[in-house]
Structure 1
Amino acid sequence: MTAESNESKSRYLQYLELVLGPLEDKKRWRQYKARVKGLPENYRIAVEALERYLMHFGPADGAGAMAMYEDLADLFEQSAADGIPIRAVFGDDPIEFVETFMANYPLGQYRRRERDRFTSAVERAAGEDRTK
């Protein structure tokens, strides 16, 4: 390969990552999904339901979100291996469990920006504009 073809390949990968996101995150996501697929059925169902909730309400950033999903897989793999019942993992309130779980991870940039925008709008509407 020539130096020019290496440079072209590098630019091509940069373009792909710009459009699709970091390729390493895609690889990590596929590995996570394979781990979930390997769980016993009841644990897999629980993880997939939790994953859906996290997709809507969890951190949105790639690296932070990936760490969260990998930790989720760790938790359920270990729980399945130890024979811990699903209800014992979640407790009486699954929403409380997931909210506590999410609190351990950074808020995604999009959600942080929207929360800040919302808070500022309420402050302005209440006559408490603090940007002055």
Structure 2
Amino acid sequence: MGIQDIIEGKKQWRAHMARVKALPRDYQIVYREMQRYFFKVGPVGLADGSLLSGILDFFEEGVVAGKGVLELIGNDVAAFCDDLVKDSRTYADIYQESISGEPGTAEK
């Protein structure tokens, strides 16, 4: 990864966060909680950016439709997040495999 890639990545992240700031306050709060949750749980594919930008697109559509954020995702934000990454490998899975000593044996 070169300097230009890092600069471009920062530009994309700033544009992404500008879109988040344009959302209504309740959407912003839920988005940030989801973001924090994903950074903690760590789906391995999070780095490609498609998960967070997909959520942002979904939220923007909800705003246009005039729906509240909890109408879209339900009252349990963590359950919604878990459902989004249920088929994805997480860093927690990798950790479980490393301590069990058997690759691919992590339970979900």
TM-score (norm 1): 0.62
Q: Aligned partner of 1:99: which letter?
A: D
How many residue pairs were aligned? 101
User: Residue 80 of structure 1: CA displacement?
Assistant: 1.0
1:51 maps onto 2:32 in alignment: no
Q: Give the equivalent residue in structure 1 for 2:10.
A: 26
Q: Give the equivalent residue in structure 2 for 1:85.
A: 68
Q: Aligned partner of 1:62: which letter?
A: A
Structure 1 runs not aligned, ≥5 long: 1-12, 122-132
Q: Give the equivalent residue in structure 2 for 1:107.
A: 89
**Superimposed CA distance per residue, residues 35-60 of structure 1 (whole angstroms, 9 cap, x where no aligned partner):** 10010111111111211111111325
Higher helix share: 1
- Where do 4+ consecutive residues of structure 1 move more than 4 Å? none
In structure 1, distance between residues paired with 2:86 and 2:7: 27
Q: Give the equivalent residue in structure 2 for 1:76.
A: 59
Structure 2 runs not aligned, ≥5 long: 103-108
User: Quick one: structure 1 residues 116 and 26, their matched pair in 2 at CA, closer, same or farther if it must change by over 3 Å?
Assistant: farther
User: Residue 116 of structure 1: CA displacement?
Assistant: 2.2
In structure 2, distance between residues paired with 1:88 and 1:120: 43
In structure 2, distance between residues paired with 1:98 and 1:113: 19
Q: Give the equivalent residue in structure 2 for 1:7.
A: none
TM-score (norm 2): 0.74
Q: Aligned partner of 1:107: which letter?
A: R
Which structure: larger Rg? Answer: 1
Preserved CA contact (<8 Å) 2:74 2:80: yes
In structure 1, distance between residues paired with 2:24 and 2:10: 24
Percent sequence identity is 25
Structure 2 counterpart of 1:36, from 14, 17, 20: 20
